[in-house]
Structure 1
Amino acid sequence: MTTSFVLAGGCFWCLDAAYRNVRGVQDVVSGYTGGDVANPNYELVCAGRTGHAEAVRVDFDETVVPAEVILDMFFTMHDPRQLNRQGNDIGTQYRSTMFPADAEQRALFEAARDRAEEAWGGGVVTTMQPLEEFWVAEEAHQDFFAKNPTQGYCLAVAVPKVNKIRAGFSEYVL
């Protein structure tokens, strides 16, 4: 059975790169959600004019990787204490937000946020926003790291996040 979570924690290239290395993850789709403009594109979202967050939809098999692990990875690969930013990526499009599709997901997400609050020693600013429309990002942003492994941003920002997942969740890494 496939489960899908929509999560935003900074640039979607990093989340995409990290989750693609996890056993049981069947697909990762970069996109935009949480805003108020139909059919947003990268330029509009990056300019902060749509209200959307850069997000990923992670499709995974819970018999291989538990939902709690997918969520704990999310809180490991980005700093959930940074409001509307991750490092030098600044703006609401880089906010830490979880987009539950239903009440069951909301409960799972809240439990994960509580675990993160303890793990990070407080100060977690990750918000919850009901999942509405998820707009798939342009093809250039899908599996960006694999297509651009020597790009400066990937080397400086994505690689350390991938390495955090490899170190902290080695039993689930490909």
Structure 2
Amino acid sequence: MTDHEIAVLRWPGRTPPGDDGLAGLLAAYHLRTEAEKGVPVSGVAGLPDRYRSEIADPRSAFADAVVLVAFLGNVAVGCLVVASLPAQGQSEIKRLWTDPEFRGRGIASALLDAALAHVAANGMGPVRLSVWEWRTGAIALYERFGFAVTQPWDERDRLVCMQRAA
């Protein structure tokens, strides 16, 4: 499978289909993260309120952000959120997720490419992100894209903060 088969839709912008699959991708992301943190929950209802609200209504939860959803054909296979942080003069990448069934096909790279192109085109300054230290594959991917570990802005245990120049 090659990158050209991956379609990345952005909203606001190109409106994805009515059921863009984003809620399901966010649910999988949050459920996996909680399990990896050692506090697995049996379903979305067991997640913290802030995560349930993202899943229930992603358009409202990320109204001030740019959301990228990757598709292979009609199937949503990955997502990423780019939030603008004007007070800090930068932007932040959140919720990068690829459905495990579709990993290894360049989806995360396509999402990061699209996010960084959006940041550059809109003069959004440096880009930061945080990632759990056990997600070594994600950390390696971010490093390939020029991110480096930086001083933490979030003090949660085992969270790695990374930044990339604009």
TM-score (norm 2): 0.34
